[in-house]
Structure formats: structure tokens, C-alpha cells
């Protein structure tokens, strides 16, 4: 079994930064890479403010915070990011062609023993793995948002993943303080077979004029005791990601995953979610956009 010491995270969006923070807080050296330097800077700033909150709450000393920062390196070059890494975690958009190209590129740079994990929410791990010469070392590690708070990680071996890679991944998940949830490599795995239908139906309720967005979220919080409503959650996940997952599940599993017309309409209009200022809610005015 490979002993993980250094990790590279590729993609500094909603998920990448959180994965980096959790790895660094667990004592791993970790580099963060993105094609866009501004996104890297924002991600590092988010990590810093999140760690400062821990310090101000007395959950971490200033010295420990410095050590955590010291373990994080940000780079804009893929070769520099994966240098010396023995685990690479991919967190780029939920598009098969983008992921395959990245895995192909990484395969040319990294020695065969380096384990490649994908944070895909739904796509086939085997298909991504086949972009490399060593599909046995490719595995799904599906983190959940917010990564620092969520307690579980789905671990998804494909039919091509070796037992060795699976053991290393399970061990790594434990080392970062998360529980492993092992799923077969089938569209959506466990959680994203369930969650997208719930979120999608909330969009349909708004689309059909049954209730406004705020009322639907309030209903789920007050009656189902969910900490956050499905539409608020969709805005946090990012509407493009929610739509990509639904489109893939619709294609693979059928009609019940057909994306809501409202979700499509919002994405087409550039309402990508909270990080972009507007999703189903407008965070610049705090009022629901569509009600
Ligand atoms: P995001 O769009 O916020 O971030 C993706 C980042 O990848 C962007 O900053 C982009 O510039 C960068 N990127 C694109 N191509 C790249 C490349 N070739 N090399 C380096 N960087 C590249 O996406 P996200 O929400 O962080 O999602 C990333 C992955 O994690 C997706 O597969 C998604 O399905 C999955 N995921 C997302 C969530 C969530 O709540 N958002 C939860 C679990 C899993």
C-alpha cells in the first residue's frame, strides 16, 4: 500500500479549496493548481479566512495555523503541482471530456505509482481511468460540500481499480478524519442518485408555481429538519454542476432525472449560484429571483 505524503489538488473552485484545507489540516503537504490564477488566489484567501475563524474560536492556535498554511503551495502549472505527489485529486468541472484530457496529461507527467482520484459527482470512474495507461490506480474520492464540515467521503473503485489502490484510498480517507462510504462505479454512486432528484423536484415546484423558492426551503428546514433547503443547497453546489449531474443521470438512468426547465433557464442566463452572486436566489438583493 502506498503511504500518502504529498497531495496535489487540481481545480481550485468550490470543492478544490476545501479539499486542500482538510488535507493540510491533517498534516499533508498539498499543492493547489487551477488554470485561472484569480481563482487560485480567491481559494487561498477563503482557506485563510476559514482557518482564521478556527483560530478566533480557539479551535486552533496561531502557530498551528501557520503550520497549516506552510503545508499549502499554490501553482498554475500542472507539472509543478504534481511533482513529488503520490496522490492527485482532480476537482475540475463535471465534464467527461475535460476530465479525460486532464487524466491523459497527468499520466504523461506522473510516475505509474501515483494514485489518481477524481472528485466526480456522478461520472464513470472506469471511463475516466481509461484515459490513462494505468487504470488500476484510478479511483473516485467524492467529497461533499462543505468539505471541512462534511463527515463522509464516497470511495468508488471502478472494475479496473486495484485492491491496492482501494486500500490506500480507504486509509487516506481515515487519515483526513472522514468516514468512507464505498459505492460501486454506477452513475451518481449513492448520494447523487438521491440528492439531484430532490433538488430537481424543488426547481419543478417553483417552475409550476406551487410555492416560491423561499417557502420550499423553509418547508424542508421546518418539517424535514434539513439544515439547509434544497434550493439554497443547489446555489451552494453551483447550478452548472447540478445541471451537469442531472443531464448525465438523465442520459444514463432515464426520465426521472430530466432536468427542470427552470434549472436550465437559470444556467442559460448565467445564474450559476451563490459564488457568482446569483442562482435561484439573488445574493445581491437577498430576495429570491424566481418566486
Ligand atoms: P468549479 O467550477 O467551482 O471549479 C472547477 C475549477 O476547475 C475551476 O476553477 C476551473 O478554472 C478549474 N479547471 C477547469 N479545467 C481545469 C484544468 N484542466 N486544470 C486545472 N483546473 C481546471 O467546480 P466544483 O463545484 O469545485 O466541482 C468540481 C468537481 O467536484 C466536479 O466534478 C463536481 O461535480 C464535483 N463536486 C462538486 C460539489 C459541489 O458541491 N460543488 C460536490 C461534490 C463534488
Tens digit of each residue's pLDDT (9 = 90 or more) over 124-167: 999 999 999 999 999 999 999 999 999 999 999 999 999 999 99
Q: Is the CB of 89 under 6 A from ligand 1?
A: no
pLDDT digits (tens, 9 = 90+) for 82-130: 999 999 999 999 999 999 999 999 999 999 999 999 999 999 999 999 9
Q: Mean pLDDT throughout 68-80?
A: 96
Write out the E strands in the chain.
Answer: 6-10, 29-33, 72-75, 87-90, 115-118, 138-142, 152-157, 179-182
pTM for the full predicted model: 0.95
Query: Residue length, the chain?
Result: 291
Q: How far is the CA of 32 from the centre of ligand 1 (A)?
A: 12
How many Å apart are CA 48 and CA 13, to the nearest integer? 15
Q: Which atom of ligand 1 is nearest to the CA of 16?
A: 26
Catalytic residue selected from 31, 86, 119, 121: 121
* 251: number of Cβ within 10 Å: 10
Distance spanning both ends of the chain, measured CA to CA: 53
**Which range among 1-5, 17-21, 164-168 shows the weakest confidence by mean pLDDT?**
1-5
Amino acid at each position: 500500500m502506498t503511504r500518502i505524503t504529498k497531495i496535489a489538488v487540481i481545480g481550485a473552485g468550490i470543492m478544490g479549496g476545501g479539499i486542500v484545507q482538510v488535507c493540510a489540516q491533517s498534516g499533508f503537504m498539498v499543492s493547489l493548481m487551477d488554470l485561472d490564477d484569480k481563482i487560485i488566489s480567491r481559494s487561498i484567501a477563503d482557506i485563510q479566512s476559514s482557518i482564521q475563524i478556527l483560530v478566533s474560536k480557539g479551535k486552533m492556535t496561531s502557530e498551528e495555523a501557520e503550520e497549516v498554511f506552510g503545508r499549502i503551495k499554490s501553482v498554475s502549472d500542472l507539472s509543478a503541482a504534481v511533482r513529488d505527489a503520490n496522490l492527485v485529486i482532480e476537482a475540475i468541472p463535471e465534464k467527461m471530456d475535460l476530465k479525460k484530457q486532464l487524466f491523459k496529461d497527468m499520466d504523461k507527467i506522473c510516475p505509474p505509482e501515483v494514485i489518481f482520484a477524481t472528485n466526480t459527482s456522478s461520472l464513470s470512474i472506469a471511463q475516466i481511468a481509461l484515459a490513462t495507461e494505468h487504470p488500476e490506480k484510478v479511483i473516485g474520492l467524492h467529497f461533499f460540500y462543505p468539505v471541512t464540515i462534511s463527515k463522509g467521503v464516497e470511495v468508488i473503485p471502478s472494475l479496473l481499480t486495484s485492491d491496492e489502490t482501494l486500500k490506500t484510498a480507504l486509509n487516506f480517507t481515515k487519515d483526513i478524519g472522514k468516514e468512507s462510504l464505498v459505492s460501486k462505479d454506477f452513475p451518481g454512486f449513492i448520494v447523487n442518485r438521491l440528492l439531484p432528484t430532490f433538488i430537481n423536484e424543488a426547481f419543478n415546484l417553483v417552475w409550476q408555481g406551487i410555492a416560491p423558492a423561499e417557502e420550499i426551503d423553509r418547508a424542508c428546514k421546518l418539517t424535514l429538519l434539513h439544515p439547509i433547503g434544497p434550493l439554497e443547497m443547489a446555489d451552494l453546489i453551483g447550478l452548472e454542476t447540478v445541471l451537469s449531474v442531472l443531464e448525465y443521470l438523465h442520459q444514463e438512468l432515464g426520465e426521472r432525472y430530466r432536468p427542470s426547465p427552470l434549472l436550465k433557464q437559470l444556467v442559460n442566463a448565467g445564474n450559476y449560484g451563490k459564488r457568482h452572486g446569483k442562482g435561484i436566489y439573488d445574493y445581491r438583493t437577498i430576495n429570491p429571483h424566481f418566486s
